[in-house]
Amino acid sequence: MNHLPSAITLCEVGLRDGLQNEKTLLPTATKVELLQGLIDAGFKVIEVGSFMHPKAVPQMADTDEVYQAVGEVPGVELRALIPNLRGVKRAVDCGCKKVKLNVSASRQHNLKNLNMTPEQSVAGFADCVKAAEENGIAISGSISMPFASPWEGRIPLADVESIIEAYLKVGITEISLSDASGMGVPNQVYQMCAHVRERYPQVSWWLHFHNTRGLAMANIMAAMEAGMTQFDGSFGGLGGCPFVPGAAGNISTEDVLNLCDESGIVTGIDIVKVMALSRRMRELLGHDLDSCVLRAGRAKDLILD
């Protein structure tokens, strides 16, 4: 095994990527309570919600109110997903200081939904970048399904590079590779991560894995071995992907924390507090969550004196 990092940064995405797939609409006060719990557990990066149209994603309709309730938290990045320039304006109005744009690496998916190539979509983000910079808001980009999609299968590396270069052209240098379809495999993840880290050293990389086929943890390990140190997780394994058939949720945050704790990788996050939040979420939603550690407990909880 190659060297694993001594520390990683975990972004909690359950409040956005998790809840947007749930039928239960949580009250704003409950979201604020959960967000404050995540901050207390030690997360330094949290995806609070999204500024999508409320009709399209009703679960995220109150993201503005959540930001207004919590305000700025020193040392914690509270970010939100945006679709367009209107999203930047909403971020300005509610005090959000970090926004993220997204494009699909699947040409067919992008053409079918937006009538544009992924590169054309990213070029169109230039006005968002300008508006964000003018208002002191940081901005990042995400590439959804860079490993494979249900429409094309494996995505050629050249296609992914083309999208990365389109992001760099509009001034975005923080990029997430998001395996929303859950089709990535470890050797492919390793190769892509090692390649883009070397080719684009100016980029701050994030990795986002779905556990659709049980490979998210192996993919995280492969990405770590390739030198990546920033990952998304969703407490309780909440979430899915509304446009991918049968897509399961994100990797469970507490499963990643257990791996790190047992492997001596520092995260700065209290797994016991995260597990308590996942149990609370299970009660709120009224169904089981897809988290191994929530079912079995931490490995160290089994060791008898």
Instruction: From first to last of the 305 residues of the chain, give the pLDDT tens digit.
Output: 568 999 999 999 999 999 998 989 999 999 999 999 999 999 999 999 999 999 999 999 999 999 999 999 999 999 999 999 999 999 999 999 999 999 999 999 889 888 999 999 999 999 999 999 999 999 999 999 999 999 999 999 999 999 999 999 999 999 999 999 999 999 999 999 999 999 999 999 999 999 999 999 999 999 999 999 999 999 999 986 555 555 568 999 999 999 999 999 999 999 999 999 999 999 999 988 999 999 999 988 887 66
The helix/strand/coil state of 184 is coil
Catalytic residues: 241
Say which residue the tokens 């590079």 belong to: 161
CB 220 within 8 A of CB 265: no
10 and 43 in contact (C-beta within 8 Å)? yes
How far apart are alpha carbons 109 and 163 in whole angstroms? 14
The predicted pLDDT at position 242 comes to 55
Q: What is the pTM of this model?
A: 0.95
Domains of the chain are: 9-302 (3.20.20.70)
Question: Would you state the pLDDT for residue 264?
Answer: 96
Using CA of residue 183, residue 186, residue 192, residue 193, what is the dihedral sign? Answer: positive
Between CA 262 and CA 218 the distance in angstroms is 15
Single-letter amino acid, residue 164: I
Q: d(Cα 78, Cα 35) in Å, to the nearest integer?
A: 10
CB 162 within 8 A of CB 119: yes
Element (H, E) at 9: strand 9-12
